[in-house]
Amino acid sequence: MKKILVIVAVLYSAAAVAQSNPPADPPMVGDKPLVQVKPKGTATAAKSKAAPEKPKSMAQKLQACLEIDDGSKERLSCYDAVIAPKPKAKQNAKAGTAKSVTECSGLKEEDERLACFNGFVEKLPKLPS
């Protein structure tokens, strides 16, 4: 039994000593280090980190406008940047008569257009960023 304990102690101490030594210098060819080839996975991982984020959907852009103060010109400008205003020849009598968020861009009055956008965007389910 003592022999087994001695052998185990010697093996564990040898493993500990082997791990504690600092790594050796890289192999040299003359006075230059040997070139080491990296696996393909590391090169593509570096490119994917530097890649830009996916473009946001229209709904995500519109929901980002909700973070701006309500009733402000900045919020309306944010909405107009996502969906450019297109004045129609025939104007709707009320802001609520638009059937889709894109129809809000046809309203001429800024207050009506802002109310129309707010009505649609606030009803959208919260999307992940």
Q: Is the pLDDT of residue 68 over 60?
A: yes
Long-range Cβ contacts of 90-97 (<8 Å, 24+ apart): 95/119
Q: Quick check: 97 pLDDT over 80?
A: no
Q: What tokens appear for 67 in the block?
A: 């973070």
- Look at residue 102 and tell me whether its pLDDT is greater than 70: yes
Cα separation, 126 vs 123, in Å, equals 9
The pLDDT, as a whole number, for residue 95 is 43
